[in-house]
Chains A and B, each alone.
Chain A
Amino acid sequence: MAKKYSWPDRGTTALLGKPQDRIDGIAKATGAAKYTYDVNFDKMLIARVLGSPHAHCKIKSIDFSAAEKIPGVVKCMAMKEPGNEVRWQGDPIAAVAGESEGAVAEGLKAIKVEIEPLDVYVKDADLAAAEAAGRTGKVAKNVQLEREAGDDDDEDKFAEQEIERLLKESAVVVEAHYGIDVITHMCLEPHGATVQWEGDKLNAYLSTQNVSGTAGQFASPLGITTGDVTVICDFIGGGFGSKFQVDNFNVTAAKIAKEVGRPVKLMLDRDIELKTAGCRPSGYIDVRIGADKEGVVTVWDSQHWGTFGATAGGVDQGVIPYVFNPKNRRRRATPIITNASPSRAWRAPNHPQACAMSQTAYDDIAAKLGLNSYDVFLRNLASVSNEKQNVYQAEMEIAAKLIGWKDKWHPHGKGPKKGAVVSGLGMAIHTWGGGGQPSNTNITIHPDGAVEATLGSQDLGTGTRTAIAIITAETFGLPLAGVKVNIGSSKYPPSAASGGSVTIASVSESTRRAAQDALLKIFELASKKLESEPENLEAKDGRIQVKSDTKKSLSWKEACSLLGMMPLEVKGEFKRRDDQGLSSSQVGGVQMAEVEVDRDTGVVRMKKFVLVQDMGLVINPKCAQSQMYGAAIMGIAYALFEQRILDPTTGAFLNAEIADYKLPRLGDVGEIVVEIYQPDDEYNRGVVGLGEPPVISPGAAISNAVCNALGVRVPVLPLTPKRVLEALERARKA
Chain B
Amino acid sequence: MKDQRPSRAGESGFSRRAFLQGSGAAAAATALAAGSGVAEAADDKTKVLGPGPTAITLKVNGADRQVTVEPRTTLLEALRFKLNLTGAKPVSVDDSSGASMVIIDGKPASANTILAVACVGKKIQTVESLGGSKPDPVVTAFLHNDAMQCGFCTPGFVVAVRAFLDKNPKATEDQIRKGLNSNLCRCGTYANVIQAALEVVKGGSRG
> Which residues of chain A have a CB within 8 Å of any CB of chain B?
21-22, 24-26, 28-35, 37-38, 40, 44, 46, 71, 100-102, 105-106, 109, 186-189, 235-240, 267, 269-271, 459-463, 622-623, 625-627, 629-634, 637, 657-659, 663-669, 672
Besides A101-B74, A188-B99, A629-B190, 15 other A-B contacts (C-beta < 8 A): A21-B143, A26-B131, A26-B135, A29-B139, A40-B86, A102-B28, A188-B89, A461-B149, A626-B146, A626-B149, A657-B92, A658-B184, A666-B183, A669-B188, A672-B191
State which of A100, A188, A236 has its C-beta within 8 Å of the C-beta of B70: A100
Residues of B within 8 A of A (CB): 20-21, 24-25, 28, 70, 72-74, 77, 80-81, 84-94, 96-97, 99, 126-128, 130-131, 135, 139-140, 142-144, 146-155, 158, 176-178, 180-181, 183-194
A188 touches B91 (CB 8 A): yes
Cα distance A629–B86 in the bound complex, in angstroms: 27
* Distance, CA A572 to CA B181, complexed state (A): 45
Let me know if B155 and A30 touch, CB within 8 A.
yes
Interface residue from B74, B130, B146, B183 paired with A623 (Cβ < 8 Å): B146
Contacts of B189 in A (CB 8 A): 626, 629-630
The answer to whether B93 and A270 touch across the interface, beta carbons within 8 angstroms, is: yes
A461 with B73, Cβ < 8 A, contacts A32-B131, A238-B187 known: no
Residues on B with beta carbons closer than 8 Å to the beta carbon of A269: 93
Residues of chain A lying within 8 A (CB to CB) of residue B28: 102
From residue B171, how far is it (CB to closest CB) to chain A in Å?
12
| CB–CB B151/A33 < 8 A | yes
Interchain nearest-CB distance for B51 vs A (Å): 9
CA separation between A663 and B184, bound complex, in Å? Answer: 8
With both chains docked as a complex, state the minimum distance between the C-beta of A472 and any C-beta of chain B, in angstroms: 20
CB–CB B143/A25 < 8 A: yes
B residues in contact with A29, CB < 8 Å: 127, 131, 135, 139, 142-143, 147-148, 151, 154-155, 158
Q: Which residues of A contact B135 (CB under 8 A)?
A: 26, 29-30
Residue picked from B99, B153, B190, most chain A C-beta under 10 Å: B190
Q: What residue in chain A is nearest B20 (Cβ atoms)?
A: A105
Which DSSP category, helix, strand, loop or mixed, fits chain B's interface? loop
If A666-B193, A672-B191 touch, does A38 touch B86 (CB 8 Å cutoff)?
yes
A682→B25 CA distance, assembly (Å): 63
Instruction: Tell me the minimal C-beta distance from A644 to chain B in angstroms.
Output: 15
Asked if A188 contacts B183 (CB within 8 A), the reply is no
Of the residues A21, A102, A187, contact of B20 by C-beta under 8 Å: A102
Q: Assess the B86–A34 pair: CB atoms within 8 A.
A: yes
Contact of B151 among A37, A46, A237, A630 (CB under 8 A): A237
Q: Which of B150, B181, B191 contacts A665 (CB 8 A)?
A: B181
**A267, closest chain B residue (CB):** B90
In angstroms, Cα B130 to Cα A106, docked, is 36
Cα distance A244–B82 in the bound complex, in angstroms: 31
> What are 23 sample pairs from A and B whose C-beta atoms fall under 8 A apart?
A22-B148, A25-B146, A26-B131, A26-B135, A28-B154, A29-B148, A29-B154, A29-B155, A30-B135, A31-B86, A31-B87, A32-B131, A100-B73, A100-B81, A187-B152, A461-B150, A626-B189, A627-B149, A630-B189, A633-B188, A633-B191, A657-B96, A666-B180
A26 and B88 in contact, given A31-B128, A31-B131, A630-B188 (Cβ under 8 angstroms):
no
Chain A residues whose C-beta falls within 8 Å of the C-beta of B148 in the assembled complex: 22, 25, 28-29, 461, 626
Q: Which residue of B lies closest to A235 (CB)?
A: B151
Cα distance, A35 to B73, chains bound together (Å): 22
A238 touches which of B139, B152, B181 (Cβ 8 Å)? B152
Q: Are B128 and A658 in contact (CB under 8 A)?
A: no
Q: Which residues of B contact A637 (CB under 8 A)?
A: 188
Q: Do B21 and A30 have beta carbons less than 8 Å apart?
A: no
A360 to B46: give the CA distance in the assembly, Å.
65
If A26-B131, A659-B94 touch, does A188 touch B150 (CB 8 Å cutoff)? yes
Which chain A residues border B94 with CB–CB below 8 Å?
A: 657-659
The 6 closest A-B CB pairs, nearest first, are A31-B87, A237-B152, A633-B188, A461-B149, A30-B131, A28-B151
How far is it, in angstroms, between the C-alpha of A633 and the C-alpha of B84 when the chains are bound?
33
Residues of A within 8 A of B130 (CB): 30
Task: Determine if B155 and A31 form an interchain contact, defined as CB atoms under 8 angstroms apart.
Answer: yes
Q: What chain B residues lie within 8 Å of A632 (beta carbons)? A: 188
Give CA–CA (A669, B77) in the complex, Å: 33
Tell me if B90 and A669 are in contact (CB < 8 A). Answer: no
B81, A46: Cβ atoms closer than 8 Å: yes
B177 in contact with A666 (CB, 8 Å): yes
Query: Beyond A29-B142, A236-B150, is A186–B186 a contact (Cβ under 8 Å)?
Result: yes
A-chain residues with CB within 8 Å of residue B192 when the two chains form the complex = 626, 629
- Partner of A102 from the list B72, B142, B191 (CB cut-off 8 Å) is B72
Given A270-B92, A626-B189, A666-B177, the answer on whether A102 and B184 have CB atoms closer than 8 Å is no
Q: How far is the CA of A186 from the CA of B87 in the complex (A)?
A: 20
Q: Which residues of B contact A31 (CB under 8 A)?
A: 85-88, 126-128, 131, 155
B152 touches A22 (CB 8 A): no
Chain B nearest Cβ from A291, distance in angstroms: 35
Known: A100-B77, A630-B188, A666-B180. A25 touches B142 (CB 8 A): yes
Smallest CB–CB gap between A42 and chain B, Å? 11
Kindly provide the distance from the CB of B107 to the nearest chain A CB, expressed in whole angstroms: 19
Contact B188 A634 (CB under 8 A): yes
A672 to chain B, nearest CB (A): 5
Give the nearest-CB partner of A101 in chain B. B77
A622 contacts across to B, CB distance below 8 A: 146
B91 with A658: CB separation less than 8 A:
yes
Q: Which of A44, A102, A267 contacts B25 (CB 8 A)?
A: A102
A188 to B146, CA, bound (A): 18
CA distance A538 to B153 in the complex (A): 43
Are B87 and A665 within 8 A (Cβ)? no
When distances are taken between beta carbons in the complex, the residues of chain A under 8 Å from B147 are: 29
- Bound-complex Cα distance A665 to B183 (A): 7
Report A-chain residues with C-beta under 8 Å of the C-beta of B144.
21
Residues of B within 8 A of A633 (CB): 188, 190-191
B5 to chain A, nearest CB (A): 12
Query: Contacts A25-B142, A30-B128, A665-B181 hold; do A38 and B186 have CB atoms under 8 A apart?
Result: no
Chain A residues positioned under 8 Å from B131 (CB to CB): 26, 29-32
Contacts of B176 in A (CB 8 A): 666
Identify the closest chain A residue to B22 (Cβ).
A109
Contacts of A71 in B (CB 8 A): 25
C-alpha gap A235/B149 in the complex (Å): 11
**B190 partner residues in chain A, CB cutoff 8 A:** 629, 633, 664-666, 669
Q: Once the chains bind, are B87 and A30 in contact (CB under 8 Å)? A: yes
Question: How far, in Å, is A51 (CB) from chain B's closest CB?
Answer: 14
Contact (A669, B191) CB under 8 Å given A26-B135, A38-B80, A109-B21: yes
Q: Are B96's CB and A659's CB within 8 A?
A: yes
Q: CA–CA, A33 to B154, complex, Å?
A: 10
Question: Is B143 a contact partner of A22 (Cβ separation < 8 A)?
Answer: yes
Taking CB atoms, residues of chain B closer than 8 Å to A657 are 92-94, 96
Q: Is B178 a contact partner of A106 (Cβ separation < 8 A)?
A: no
Chain A residues, CB < 8 A from B91? 188-189, 270, 658
Which residues of the other chain, A, contact B89 by a CB distance below 8 angstroms?
Answer: 35, 37, 188-189, 237
What is the CB-to-nearest-CB distance from A198 to chain B, in angstroms, rounded to a whole number?
21
Cross-interface CB contact of A30 among B96, B158, B186, B191, cutoff 8 Å: B158
Most chain B CB inside 10 Å of its own CB: which residue of A237, A622, A632, A672: A237
Residue pair B150, A237 in contact (C-beta under 8 Å) = yes
Task: Give the distance to chain A from B113, nearest Cβ to Cβ, in Å.
Answer: 12
Contact status B73-A188, CB under 8 Å: no
A37 to B85, CA, bound (A): 12
Report B46 CB to chain A, min CB distance, Å: 22
CA distance A32 to B131 in the complex (A): 9
The answer to whether B150 touches A460, judged by C-beta atoms less than 8 angstroms apart, is yes
Chain B residue numbers with a CB within 8 Å of A236 are 150
> Which residues of the other chain, A, contact B86 by a CB distance below 8 angstroms?
31, 34-35, 37-38, 40
Q: Which residues of A contact B99 (CB under 8 A)?
A: 188
**A22 and B146 form a contact (CB under 8 A):** yes
Whether B186 and A187, one on each chain, are in contact in the complex, defined by CB atoms closer than 8 angstroms, is: yes
CB-CB < 8 A to B146: which residues of A? 21-22, 25, 463, 622-623, 625-626
